[in-house]
Amino acid sequence: MLPFDLADDEVFRKSTVGTGRWITIIAVLSASAVLSAIVCLQFGARFVGVHDMLRLLFLAPGESGDAAGDLDTVTTILLYVRLPRVVLGFLVGGCLATVGVAVQALLRNPLADPYVLGVSSGAALGVSVAVLFGVGSTILPVVVLPLCGFAGSLVALLVIYQIAASDGRLPIYSVLLAGVILNAVLSALIMFITSIMDPNRSFGMMIWLMGSLTAPAIPTLLVFSLYVLVCLGFLLKQARVLNIVAFGDEQARSLGIDTERTKRHIFLVSALMTGAVVSVSGMVGFIGMVVPHVVRLIVGADHRLVMPAAALVGGTFLMVADTFARTVLLPSELPVGIMTALVGGPFFVSLLIRRKDRML
């Protein structure tokens, strides 16, 4: 029933989540995700109520009293523009939050996330190079752009390893320092690329870099979902290891866990996910860093609960933020990265103020 046995760890007697509590929290979060999705689907260039949605689903075009063309347009908007975008928003948000949880646990540093480490910038650089040389627009962009993103994030990771690793181990401070430096260099390279593109293109590139979702084609969305869900599954399975690693390397070694190897695997999968996410949505900041905190403040520190909860909360949050981003300025759109920062920042601060006693 559950992907792991909740009572199998000696170490975590104190923080063990009861199975009942796990199911309750995940069920509540899932339900709110579904409800939010239904609400998000209603808003857009034209408001479509739930009743109309159901009617559209069960009616072939031309069966209703509407003019067939008009119905056609609404169906297209709903099924091919809005729905894919809402789903994509959920997946991207979920990935960012989960990767954030994993990286923060690995480095035992609440400030860590793919953006801070420069992994996202690496992916963005990979994608912008592909765009600059027109690779993305000629050969299967669905496959090529995420691959370029992954290549970029992988190179970023390798560089961090080269800088920070000593005796095959990754000291936390060196990793963070390496990430900060790498970020600065990569940002400069991205800026260089945008400055040599033609002006119209670079404007689009800037908006994409701020983090913006577009409605993906259905095949694209399917490929992306499959890829991302496999990675998510892997990360969720690592929850128990993350619990042990979060306690410290010494502790983990005494329990006989090869932490370095596990760290490498988790980092690799995080890079894979980051590359894919950046290739479809640019650099949506804030979620990877803040959602894990918010979730830990609410449900405690056990990763077996934090990981899936963060995936659901991050997904729901980005889905809602993107709905604001695409409707606030109709007929224009805002980059969702702006919305996540504007909506999430104050929320996070208020949460901290109310929970000062349990801070981080």
The only residue of 45, 54, 67, 226 in contact with other proteins, by rule CB under 8 A: 45
For residue 305, give the nearest of 12, 15, 22, 98 by alpha carbon.
22
**Nearer to other proteins by C-beta: 240 or 326?**
326
Measured torsion, CA atoms of residues 358, 295, 283, 322, in degrees rounded to the nearest 10: -120
**Nearer to other proteins by C-beta: 34 or 329?**
329
d(CA 99, CA 233): 12
Q: How far is the CB of 67 from other proteins (least distance, A)?
A: 12
Residue 210's SS3 state is coil
The only residue of 162, 200, 353, 357 in contact with other proteins, by rule CB under 8 A: 200
180 in Cβ contact with 117 (< 8 Å): no
Structure tokens at 66: 């509407």
d(CA 324, CA 326): 6
The only residue of 80, 161, 227, 234 in contact with other proteins, by rule CB under 8 A: 80
Q: Residue 144 interacts with other proteins (CB under 8 A)? A: no
The only residue of 38, 217, 222, 230 in contact with other proteins, by rule CB under 8 A: 217
Total number of residues that touch other proteins (CB under 8 A) = 36
Q: Residue 214 interacts with other proteins (CB under 8 A)? A: yes
The only residue of 65, 168, 199, 256 in contact with other proteins, by rule CB under 8 A: 199
For residue 178, give the nearest of 107, 82, 240, 76 by alpha carbon.
107
44: left (phi over 0), alpha (psi -120 to 50) or beta: left
The only residue of 52, 66, 260, 333 in contact with other proteins, by rule CB under 8 A: 333
The only residue of 138, 226, 230, 349 in contact with other proteins, by rule CB under 8 A: 138
Sign of CA dihedral 64, 70, 72, 76: negative
Q: Residue 201 interacts with other proteins (CB under 8 A)? A: yes
Residues contributing to the site for other proteins (CB under 8 A): 44-46, 69, 72-73, 75-77, 80-82, 134, 137-138, 195, 198-201, 203-204, 207-208, 212, 214-215, 217, 326, 329-335
